[in-house]
């Protein structure tokens, strides 16, 4: 994929189209899809469209500062790359491309447990601000070893995802018979034939592996039991006591991802975490759950400035980042926006995605009369937007 082709993409939606054009349907559906009827998946994006901006005028916006602070360190944007698994099946070396682009744009990158690059590969080939997202495996010896390796490799933060006690019912994966490692079968051979360049790459080279999960049982969608590949090997017994034990073991920053209910905030903060991520796993777990932007004000209010609150889910525009900040977030995580970039164009695609979001955020800040991130608050939102998700979730 040429740089000129990637540069023809002027929005994240165009990068998504590029990814869809080059991948077999079942592979694209794995990255693009959500749980059940995908109501929450779609509502994560729709929630941003329900928020209306109320710009200030006659402000000097000739210079706009997008730099943010997190954990006492500067970053170029109020953003981090969210953990995304199995990227290498969509673009070989995609995890490294994501991490390298994040380093270029001076933002943190989060390596997933189910990534197709190892903890050490990322640290060696993409030095920057690195976070490791640990799925809570039933194999505790393996989990503890992964956490120890992340600490030894200098990862800044450990991200614990708490909304995956079991896998969501991802019906696109069931329909496509998705498995890791991927296998040819009567359900998908036609899809692979129609995408010869992707298929030849996978056939002529060794298929990607997930180093952190090697040795565990292969994962195959089971239509009879209505069970997808997500959530296999994970521990549904993980609780606050187990989180506290991880806090005691991990020497760096601890981030808990997957919080949407304000009633959970106090007990999680009591463990000594350093940040919360409002997330519903991109709508891939519990369908009809609240959109993350709608959940954000309640979590911000419950946290009461004790730790940073980040937002994950639905970010497709720089104006979405702006709205999350105006509703109290300290920053956002980019999942699918940068994922579509790497799936469509590798490193150049991720770089383009981050460039698009940067340009749109800067433009929104100028048009709203907010030359710095500190100027972005509820005053630039229409009053009706302050309780757009739920009348009880007010700033």
Enzyme catalytic residues: 281
Is 50 annotated in a binding site? The answer is no
**Residue 161 is assigned to a ligand binding site:** yes
Ligand-binding annotation for 312, yes or no, is yes
281 among the known binding-site residues? yes
Query: Helix crossing, 336-367 with 94-104: angle to 10°?
Result: 20
Q: Contact at 8 Å (CB) between 326 and 380?
A: yes
Q: Is 376 annotated as a binding residue?
A: no
> According to the annotation, is 316 in a ligand binding site?
yes
To the question of whether residue 391 is assigned a binding role by annotation, the answer is no
User: Which SS3 state, helix, strand or coil, does residue 38 take?
Assistant: coil
The CA distance from 69 to 72, in Å, is: 6
**Total count of residues recorded for the chain:** 395
**Which residues lie closer than 8 Å to 250 by C-beta, 6 or more apart?**
147, 151, 158
Known binding residue 135? Answer is yes
DSSP 188-244: THHHHHT-HHHHHHHHHSPPP--GGGTTSPPEE-BTTTTB-STTTTB-TT--HHHHH
Q: Is 84 annotated as a binding residue?
A: yes
The reply to whether 315 sits in an annotated binding site is: yes
Q: Which long-range contacts (CB under 8 A, 24 or more apart) does 143-152 make?
A: 144/249, 146/113, 146/119, 146/212, 147/246, 147/249, 147/250, 149/119, 149/120, 150/119, 151/250, 151/251, 151/252
> Does 314 appear as a known binding residue?
yes
The answer to the question of whether 234 is labelled as a binding residue is no
Consult the annotation and say whether 112 binds a ligand: yes
Q: Is 142 annotated as a binding residue?
A: no
Cα distance between residue 228 and residue 172, in whole Å? 9
Q: Are 37 and 287 in contact (CB under 8 A)?
A: yes
**83 carries a ligand binding annotation:** yes
**Measuring CA to CA, which residue among 112, 115, 150 is closest to residue 133?**
112
Binding residues, by number, are: 83-85, 112, 133, 135, 161, 170, 257, 279, 281, 284, 312-316, 335-336
Binding residues for FMN, by number, are: 83-85, 112, 133, 161, 257, 279, 312-316, 335-336
Binding residues for glyoxylate, by number, are: 135, 170, 281, 284
């Amino acid at each position: 994929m040429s740089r000129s082709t990637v540069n023809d993409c002027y929005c994240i939606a165009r990068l998504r189209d590029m990814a869809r054009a080059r991948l077999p349907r079942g592979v694209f559906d794995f990255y693009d899809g959500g749980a059940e009827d995908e109501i929450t998946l779609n509502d994560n994006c729709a929630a941003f469209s329900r928020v209306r901006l109320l710009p200030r005028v006659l402000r000097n916006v000739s210079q706009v500062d997008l730099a943010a602070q997190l954990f006492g360190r500067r970053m170029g944007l109020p953003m981090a790359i969210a953990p995304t698994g199995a990227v290498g099946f969509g673009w070989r070396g995609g995890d490294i491309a994501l991490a390298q682009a994040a380093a270029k744009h001076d933002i943190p990158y989060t390596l997933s447990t189910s990534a197709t690059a190892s903890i050490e590969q990322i640290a060696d080939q993409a030095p920057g601000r690195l976070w490791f997202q640990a799925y809570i495996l039933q194999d505790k010896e393996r989990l503890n070893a992964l956490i120890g390796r992340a600490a030894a490799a200098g990862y800044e933060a450990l991200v614990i995802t708490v909304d995956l006690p079991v896998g969501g019912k991802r019906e696109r994966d069931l329909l496509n018979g998705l498995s890791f490692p991927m296998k040819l079968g009567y359900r998908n051979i036609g899809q692979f034939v129609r995408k010869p360049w992707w298929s030849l790459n996978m056939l002529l080279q060794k298929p990607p592996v997930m180093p952190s999960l090697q040795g565990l049982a292969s994962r195959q969608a089971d239509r009879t039991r209505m069970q997808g590949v997500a959530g296999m090997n994970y521990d549904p017994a993980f609780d606050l006591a187990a989180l506290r034990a991880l806090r005691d073991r991990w020497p760096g920053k601890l981030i808990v991802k997957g919080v949407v209910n304000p009633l959970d905030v106090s007990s999680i903060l009591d463990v000594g975490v350093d940040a919360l991520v409002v997330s519903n796993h991109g709508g891939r777990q519990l369908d009809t759950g609240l959109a993350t932007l709608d959940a954000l004000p309640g979590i911000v209010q419950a946290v009461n400035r004790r730790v940073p609150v980040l937002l994950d889910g639905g970010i497709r525009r720089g104006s979405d980042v702006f709205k999350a900040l105006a509703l109290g977030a300290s920053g956002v995580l980019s999942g699918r926006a940068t994922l579509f970039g790497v799936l469509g164009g590798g490193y150049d695609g991720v770089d383009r995605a981050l460039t698009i979001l940067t340009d749109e955020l800067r433009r929104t800040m100028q048009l709203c009369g907010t030359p710095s991130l500190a100027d972005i608050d509820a005053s630039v939102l229409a009053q009706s937007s302050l309780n757009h998700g739920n009348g009880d979730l007010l700033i």
